[in-house]
């Protein structure tokens, strides 16, 4: 058994398999998952685990160079936007697509990690970076 880090074997494997520029999504409880995209469902009940909890845990194990969010997050969930901005820095945040484009982009992710989050637009796509420059 692992001593620390992410214990969920599906998430751990996905993170281990990521290459530079690969994408994963962290989603609220309502975001649709495209057919053919792996869904890792960690939702226990509405609100648990939260979007922030899951992003924090993933960020501890993943090199992240870009975070994509839907532009609707600015008005629809400014708290979630502030969280990802504080966590990753303003330069890493890309809020240039709308929610429909965001959902279409999830067809390209390696996995969608579904949280129990029950607030609007609490979704992000994380683009993998590398340890070396």
Which residues are annotated binding-site positions for substrate?
A: 28, 99, 121-123
Active-site residue (options: 13, 20, 74, 75): 20
**Residue 69 φ/ψ, nearest 5 degrees:** -130, 160
**Residue 4 φ/ψ, nearest 5 degrees:** -155, 180
Report the Cα 76 to chain-centroid distance in Å: 17
Place of tokens 């839907």: 70
Residue closest to 103 by CA, chosen among 42, 21, 22, 28: 28
> What's the alpha-carbon Rg for the chain, to the nearest Å?
14
**Does 20 participate in catalysis according to the annotation?**
yes
β-partners of residue 77 are none
Task: Please check whether residue 67 is in contact with residue 109, taking contact to mean a CB–CB distance below 8 angstroms.
Answer: no
Catalytic positions = 20
């Amino acid at each position: 058994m692992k001593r620390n880090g992410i214990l969920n074997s599906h998430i751990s494997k996905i993170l281990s398999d990521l290459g530079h520029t690969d994408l994963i999504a962290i989603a609220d409880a309502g975001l649709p998952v495209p057919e053919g995209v792996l869904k890792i469902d960690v939702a226990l009940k509405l609100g648990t685990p939260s979007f922030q909890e899951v992003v924090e845990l993933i960020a501890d194990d993943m090199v992240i160079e870009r975070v994509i969010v839907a532009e609707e997050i600015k008005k629809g969930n400014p708290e979630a936007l502030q969280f990802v901005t504080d966590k990753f820095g303003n330069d890493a945040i890309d809020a240039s697509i709308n929610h429909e484009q965001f959902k279409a982009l999830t067809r390209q992710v390696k996995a969608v990690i579904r949280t129990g989050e029950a607030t609007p637009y609490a979704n992000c796509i994380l683009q993998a970076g590398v340890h070396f420059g």
